[in-house]
Structures are given as structure tokens and as C-alpha cells.
């Protein structure tokens, strides 16, 4: 279902990427997350782990980058 404004920068964020270290087959791979972002027309896909504080800054940087990109189009 489509809802919400269309002129909003949307990124897909994969959280808890640290859990992938457990090699659980239920975890979403980078490739699957990226494909899903493409399929649902998100502007980008990023992953982070708040527990390990990995790539959390990337999430915010990407949000700002996509907002600026959308504003300039």
C-alpha cells in the first residue's frame, strides 16, 4: 500500500547488522536488503549496528545526502 508524501527522501536501513555474525539463515543479506530497496524504490540501502556503533553515522549521512539530492531535483 502506498501512503505518505511522495516527495520525501526514503532510505532503507538494516538494523542490528551485528547479529549477522551468528550466521543465522534468517538474517537478511546485504544483497537482499539492497534488492529490496531497489524493488520498493528507496533511494539507498544502508546497514548499521547500534550495539557495536558501526555505521550509525553513515545512516545519518545518507539521510542528509538523499534529502539534499531530492531537494535539488
In order, the DSSP letters of 11-57 are: EEEE--GGGGGG--TTSPPHHHHHHHHHHTT-SEEEE-BTTTTBSHH
pLDDT, residue 9, reads 81
Query: In the prediction, which pLDDT does 2 show?
Result: 62
Q: Among candidates 54, 44, 61, 59, which has minimal Cα distance to 21? A: 54
Q: Which of 65, 51, 28, 49 is nearest to 73 (CA)?
A: 65
pLDDT, one tens digit for every residue, the chain (73 residues): 565 667 788 899 999 888 877 777 788 889 999 999 999 999 999 999 999 999 999 999 999 999 898 887 7
Residue 71 has a pLDDT of 81
Amino acid at each position: 500500500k502506498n501512503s505518505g508524501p511522495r516527495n520525501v527522501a526514503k532510505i532503507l536501513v538494516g538494523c542490528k547488522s551485528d547479529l549477522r555474525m551468528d550466521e543465522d539463515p534468517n538474517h537478511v543479506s546485504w544483497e537482499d536488503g539492497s534488492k529490496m530497496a531497489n524493488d520498493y524504490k528507496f533511494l539507498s540501502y544502508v546497514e548499521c549496528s547500534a550495539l557495536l556503533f558501526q555505521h550509525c553515522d553513515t545512516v545519518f549521512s545518507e539521510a542528509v545526502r538523499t534529502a539534499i539530492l531530492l531537494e535539488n531535483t
